[in-house]
Amino acid sequence: MREYRVGIVGAGGAVGQEMIRVLEKSPLPVAELRLFATERSAGRRLRFRGQEYVIETTDPERFAGLDFALFSAGGGPSRQLAPEAVKRGVVVIDNSSAWRMEPNVPLVVPEVNGAVLSEKGAYAEAKLIANPNCSTIQMVMVLKPIHDAARIKRVVVSTYQAVSGSGHKAVVELEEQTKAYVEGREAENQVYPHQIAFNVLPHIDKFDETGYTAEEWKMIRETQKILDDETIQVTATTVRVPVYRGHSESINIETDKKLTPGEAKKVLAEAPGVVLLDDPPVNLYPMPITAAGRDEVFVGRIREDFSVANGLNLWVVADNLLKGAATNAVQIAGYMVEKNLL
Within the chain, all domains assigned CATH 3.40.50.720 are found at: 4-132+325-338
Residue 38: the pLDDT is 84
Residue 105: the pLDDT is 95
Q: Which residues lie across from 5 on neighbouring strands? A: 32
Residue 256: the pLDDT is 97
Q: How far apart are CA 92 and CA 305, in angstroms?
A: 41
What is the percent of the chain where pLDDT is above 70? 99
Q: Which residues lie across from 157 on neighbouring strands? A: 236, 251
Residue 118: the pLDDT is 84
Choose which CATH entry (3.40.50.720, 3.40.50.2300, 3.90.1150.10, 3.30.505.10) describes domain 4-132+325-338.
3.40.50.720
Q: Are 223 and 155 in contact (CB under 8 A)?
A: yes
Least confident of 129-138, 197-206, 333-342: 333-342
Inform me whether the pLDDT recorded for 286 exceeds 90: yes
Residue 41: the pLDDT is 82
Q: How far apart are CA 159 and CA 239, in angstroms?
A: 6
Q: Is 203 a catalytic residue?
A: no
pTM: 0.96
64 band by pLDDT with thresholds 50, 70 and 90:
very high
Average pLDDT, the chain: 95
Inform me whether the pLDDT recorded for 123 exceeds 80: no
Strand ranges (E), the chain:
4-9, 30-37, 45-48, 51-57, 68-71, 91-94, 128-130, 152-161, 233-240, 247-255, 274-276, 297-305, 311-318
pLDDT tens digits, one per residue of 186-202: 999 999 999 999 999 99
Which of 168, 194, 203, 247 is an active site residue? 247
Instruction: Compute the average pLDDT of residues 319-335.
Output: 98
Name, in order, each residue with C-beta under 8 angstroms of 248's C-beta and a sequence gap of 6 or more: 159, 160, 161, 241, 286, 287, 288, 315, 316, 317
Within the chain, all domains assigned CATH 3.30.360.10 are found at: 135-320
Inform me whether the pLDDT recorded for 9 exceeds 70: yes
pLDDT tens digits, one per residue of 206-233: 999 999 999 999 999 999 999 999 999 9
Instruction: Compute the average pLDDT of residues 167-184.
Output: 96
**Which architecture does CATH list for 135-320?**
2-Layer Sandwich (3.30)
The count of residues in the chain is 342
Q: Is 134 a catalytic residue?
A: yes
β-pairing, 51-57 vs 45-48, is antiparallel
